[in-house]
Structure 1
């Protein structure tokens, strides 16, 4: 390294350290690109309730919903990279990279990953009145015998629920009729009423209906069985290659945020996630706390984007 390069590097490190020492000196905003009450909103509110104690500044949640999370995500991507505007997102962030023909931001290159916060998963469920649906093998056999006869609902095109089912159908060479809804509520209502046959649902949404006998769990998309439903096999156990459809949740900052600020956030978020009360709150929503180093989070995002891009391309799926 040449002398002037060493001087520049030293100055940059000094500036980053100075920024970290001064940060934070004003409130921090956690942008949630979805409506209140969602799983990602719960994550943000757990952080906003506990981070002020260690950061010494208020932490507020700003729900900026719309366009499958793109409006809120773009807002953070365009924000000043000073550590005061952060994004709390789920893996739809990287799914959107291949779903939308044009985005006003780059999900992989316009953010600095800070830390994972948790993992959630989806359950493949059915209305109990649908015949021959006690296992994935029976579902596949029935779908192959009657291509396009069976239906599955999603909260919309390109959602994790949709891509998870697309992955399953692609992996098994089967066809079903996709019925997209504008949100989860209407889809669940029709599933319970027998107007829809199958659906991938988050654990916290499906569990109450499973326990009441109104829905039947066929398989879980996690890499291991759920504590709440130990008798339900995973998709992998059912023979579905690459059947893990877990959803990651995490915090990101605008690209260019000082590394010292990112490191401080990573440390404090990790400490919050280790609190027993947070684990309990997450478990009520079918999630498990999980922190990570920024670099690990970046690697996960990159691999996940590639994986779901394959599903999108094979299925010819586009979102408008």
Structure 2
């Protein structure tokens, strides 16, 4: 597995996919409502309430609602790692009144599954990359005898196949960083699959699984309570919420920069005037001082990538995710 290539391409490599991204913006266009928005808007979040995308959307929706002059209703449609809600949104009218808000799993999960009911690039209008985190936190139970990444690697190499990491699903933000970690450190660590983060945390806190890559907003409360030990963040910048936790690069693993990102989509063919109006509302929301403060508290920062650039970004990420899925040893789900 070409680890250097993977970490360079998984979250932002510049691959030649411009035509693919542009096609997604124009296929099946519908006529724009000149009075948009003239009724409430719903946002499908294809994951359970309380998760990172749900939290982010609820942070920015009041400001976006104020800008657009209509209420924004968050509708959680979890299932199959996000595949259920995303497939549903792909088939509704592209009139601007139904949005999809989700994570990098939008492109990372489909390559690990057969018969996915949608194409993450072609079946959507790409509105904006809204936010990114500072990376996932590598956390372990305090009972595990490792105080830093080097000691964890030494422990894994001493007993190949004995340590385990939790995965909340193939292609998720807990799975990809763990596989990159294994490849870069040349360690044999067993993957233990789980249905979701809540189930993982229960086993992690009890010591039934040894390590987990989790969002900082979830990690911090357990770290501060002394129940888990955070060894590193997978991004290239420290987060002030966990100021003593180094990045993977600072911990001795070079070129390790894997972050989770969050974006906004409409079904394919949404009218450009509507897309531009929604993008403008995103921009105003992420620049709002209260939103910035709430984001930082969760280990996030606003991005606001324009629609055309986001379309290219998603196409690039989708191609990179497909390459990664083919390179990893896990079986593709049916």
Q: Distance in 2 between matches of 1:46 and 1:36?
A: 13
8 Å Cα contact 2:241/2:297 also seen in 1? no
Mean Cα displacement is larger for which, 76-85 or 239-248?
239-248
Structure 1: any 5+ residue segments left out of the alignment? 1-15
Q: Distance in 2 between matches of 1:298 and 1:152?
A: 33
State the partner residue of 1:169. 182
8 Å Cα contact 2:162/2:190 also seen in 1? yes
Deviation for aligned residue 1:201: 1.2
8 Å Cα contact 1:163/1:308 also seen in 2? no
State the partner residue of 2:143. 129
Does 1:106 find its partner at 2:145?
A: no
Alignment of 1:280-299 (within 5 A): 280-299=293-312
* Bigger RCO (CA 8 Å, 6+ sep): 2
TM-score by length of 1: 0.89
State the partner residue of 2:261. 248
Q: 1:17 to 1:309 in 2, by over 3 A?
A: closer
Deviation for aligned residue 1:204: 1.1
Decide which structure has the larger Cα Rg and report it.
1
Equivalent residue in structure 1 for 2:153, among 140, 162, 166: 140
Q: Distance in 1 between matches of 2:125 and 2:300?
A: 23
Equivalent residue in structure 2 for 1:226, among 239, 244, 247: 239
How many pairs align? 305
Q: Distance in 1 between matches of 2:116 and 2:203?
A: 32
State the partner residue of 1:12. none
Equivalent residue in structure 2 for 1:87, among 100, 105, 108: 100
Once the two structures are superposed, what CA deviation does each residue of 1:263-283 show, in whole Å capped at 9, x if it has no partner? Answer: 111111110111111122223
8 Å Cα contact 1:51/1:269 also seen in 2? yes
State the partner residue of 1:42. 55
8 Å Cα contact 2:30/2:94 also seen in 1? no
Does 1:70 find its partner at 2:76?
A: no
Mean Cα displacement is larger for which, 63-72 or 230-239?
230-239
8 Å Cα contact 2:57/2:101 also seen in 1? yes
8 Å Cα contact 1:34/1:41 also seen in 2? yes
8 Å Cα contact 2:30/2:95 also seen in 1? no
Deviation for aligned residue 1:217: 1.1
8 Å Cα contact 1:158/1:319 also seen in 2? no
Mean Cα displacement is larger for which, 105-114 or 49-58?
49-58
Alignment of 1:166-245 (within 5 A): 166-245=179-258
Q: What SS is found at the alignment partner of 1:307?
A: helix
State the partner residue of 2:164. 151
State the partner residue of 1:270. 283
Structure 2: any 5+ residue segments left out of the alignment? 1-28
Q: What SS is found at the alignment partner of 2:44?
A: strand
Q: What SS is found at the alignment partner of 1:161?
A: coil
Q: 1:70 to 1:287 in 2, by over 3 A?
A: same
TM-score by length of 2: 0.85
Once the two structures are superposed, what CA deviation does each residue of 1:17-44 show, in whole Å capped at 9, x if it has no partner? Answer: 9826321122211111111111101122
State the partner residue of 1:52. 65
Q: 1:214 to 1:254 in 2, by over 3 A?
A: same
- The Cα RMSD (Å) is 2.1
